[in-house]
């Protein structure tokens, strides 16, 4: 286990909109300009900073860029709050994750953040032990639904239904021929991925010119080895019927471009329904990549949201109750903001600081 000071990662923070209660949240803008659309509409009230807290962060696999970006964002927020933050990489191994979780519980922190970990029944005893030890548990993508759960103070994620809708809408808009043939890539180890996959399939079925050619299960941590071979197989099986690839995470497209070039299949368009990694955004911005869009999680803001939810829990208050919306990231959007970080317009850090250090937002 290593401290936050020992970990570094490249970060690109994303923006979001909030589903808000008008009494507790800022009022969103109705303007059509990009900057105005990102005016803060998140929580404006909450408890002031709770001092001297110890937090553990356990990530399912730091090969997943979403998890590393989330950690870095949370790290910056806990620095503001003067909390200690320890981190453990589960390396995609459930047994290692359970061992790390048990060690964290024995260290008696104030809270444990579980990132990208599918909390199936095998985690029940550990969750019970944490609750008996009065350790707050917060999840990120631990299930497909956002909000409080039996085990967690709150689970942070966007709504899978919205992600699926946005992804299919992007595919429809990118249509180049009479019919669309889609290959869907999933990692069926995770409830959230399976939910997205099911919703995507249902949306494809409603499209009268779309065909789901196949659903492929590939573990996110094995993309470099398996994706090039899979692309070669798909090309042999489906040839020009294959027009689009739809994946539940950007990582699947990190290793596909070279193979697609070898196969002379530059015509295939790729869209991700998850996360929005730094690498993915870089290739989308270039306009030369076959990945044309990412329905991205607002991970930068979610890291600060986790800190805010923890602060509320430490103060004996309920969760804030808002849910972030996914961000549709395209080449045109990235050109529109002219190299600036998307969250620059939202200024979420300023508003969270106002809550933590003044007790109310700006």
Q: pLDDT tens for residues 82-96? A: 999 999 999 999 999
Task: With a cut of 60, say whether residue 18 has pLDDT above it.
Answer: no
Q: Say what percent of the chain tops pLDDT 90.
A: 68
Render pLDDT for 291-318 as a digit per residue (tens, 0 to 9). Answer: 999 998 888 889 999 999 999 999 999 9
More confident residue, 327 or 267: 267
pLDDT of residue 3: 45
SS in 3 state form for the chain? Answer: CEEHHHCCCCCCCCCCCECCCCCCECCCCCCCCHHHHCCCCCECECCCCCCCCEEEEEECCCCCHHHHHHHHHHHHHHHHHCCEEEEEECCCCHHHHHHHHHHHHHCCCCEEEEECCCCCHHHHHHHHHHHHCCCEEEEECCCCCCECCCCCCEEECCCHHHHHHHHHHHHHHCCCCCCEEEEEEECCCCHHHHHHHHHHHHHHHCCCCEEEEEEEECCHHHHHHHHHHHHHHHHHHHHHHCCEEEECCHHHHCCCHHHHHHCCCCCCEEEECCCCCHHHHHHHHHCCCCEEEEEECCHHHHHHHHHHHHHHHHCCCCCCCCCECCEEEEHHHHHHCCCCCHHHCCCHHHHHHHHHHHCECC
On the question of pLDDT at 97 being above 70, the answer is yes
> Confidence band (pLDDT; 50, 70, 90) for 226?
very high
358 or 197, which is more confident? 197
Instruction: State the chain's mean pLDDT as an integer.
Output: 87
Range 13-25 average pLDDT: 38
Say what angle helices 278-286 and 65-81 make with each other, to 10 degrees.
120
pLDDT band at 6 (very low <50, low <70, confident <90, very high): very low
Model-wide pTM > 0.95? no
For range 90-104, the mean pLDDT: 97
**Which domains are present in the chain?**
2-157+299-321+341-358 (3.40.50.2300), 160-296 (3.40.50.2300)
Burial zone of 132 (CB within 10 Å; 0-12 exposed, 13-18 middle, 19+ buried): exposed
Task: Say what the pLDDT of residue 341 is.
Answer: 64
- Count other Cβ atoms within 10 Å, centred on residue 118: 21
Span 10-16, mean pLDDT? 35
Percent of the chain having pLDDT more than 70? 86
- The predicted-structure confidence for 24-83, as pLDDT tens digits, reads as follows 555 443 334 455 556 677 898 999 999 999 999 999 999 888 899 999 999 999 999 999
Q: Could you report the per-residue pLDDT of 253-296, keeping only the tens digit for each?
A: 998 989 999 999 999 999 999 877 778 888 898 888 899 999 98
């Amino acid at each position: 286990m290593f401290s936050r000071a020992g970990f570094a990662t490249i970060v690109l923070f994303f923006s979001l909109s909030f589903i808000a209660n008008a009494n507790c949240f800022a009022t969103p803008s109705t303007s059509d300009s990009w900057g105005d659309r990102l005016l803060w509409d998140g929580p404006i009230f909450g408890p002031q900073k709770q001092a001297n807290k110890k937090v553990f962060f356990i990530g399912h696999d730091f090969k997943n860029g979403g998890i590393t970006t989330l950690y870095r964002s949370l790290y910056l927020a806990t620095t503001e709050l003067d909390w200690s933050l320890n981190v453990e990489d589960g390396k995609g191994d459930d047994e290692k994750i359970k061992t790390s979780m048990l060690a964290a519980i024995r260290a008696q922190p104030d809270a444990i953040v579980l990132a990208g970990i599918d909390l199936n029944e095998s985690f029940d005893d550990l969750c019970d032990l944490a609750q008996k030890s009065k350790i707050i548990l917060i999840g990120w993508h631990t299930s497909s639904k956002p909000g409080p759960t039996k085990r967690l103070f709150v689970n942070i994620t966007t709504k899978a239904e919205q992600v699926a809708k946005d992804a299919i809408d992007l595919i429809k808009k990118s249509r180049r021929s009479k019919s669309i043939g889609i290959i869907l890539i999933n990692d069926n180890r995770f409830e959230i991925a399976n939910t997205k996959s099911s919703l995507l399939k249902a949306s494809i079925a409603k499209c009268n010119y779309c065909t789901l050619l196949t659903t492929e299960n590939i573990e996110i941590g094995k993309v470099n080895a398996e994706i090039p071979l899979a692309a070669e197989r798909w090309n042999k099986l489906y040839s020009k019927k294959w027009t689009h690839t739809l994946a539940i995470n950007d990582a699947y497209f990190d290793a596909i471009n070279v193979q697609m070039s070898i196969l002379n299949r530059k015509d295939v368009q790729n869209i991700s329904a998850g996360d929005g990694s730094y690498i993915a955004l870089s290739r989308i911005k270039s306009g030369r990549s076959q990945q044309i869009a990412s329905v991205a999680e607002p991970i930068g803001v979610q890291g600060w949201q986790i800190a805010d939810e923890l602060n509320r829990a430490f103060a004996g208050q309920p969760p804030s109750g808002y849910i972030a919306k996914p961000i549709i990231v395209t080449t045109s959007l990235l050109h529109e903001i002219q190299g600036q970080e998307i969250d620059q317009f939202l200024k979420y850090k300023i508003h969270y600081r106002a809550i933590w250090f003044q007790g109310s937002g700006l």
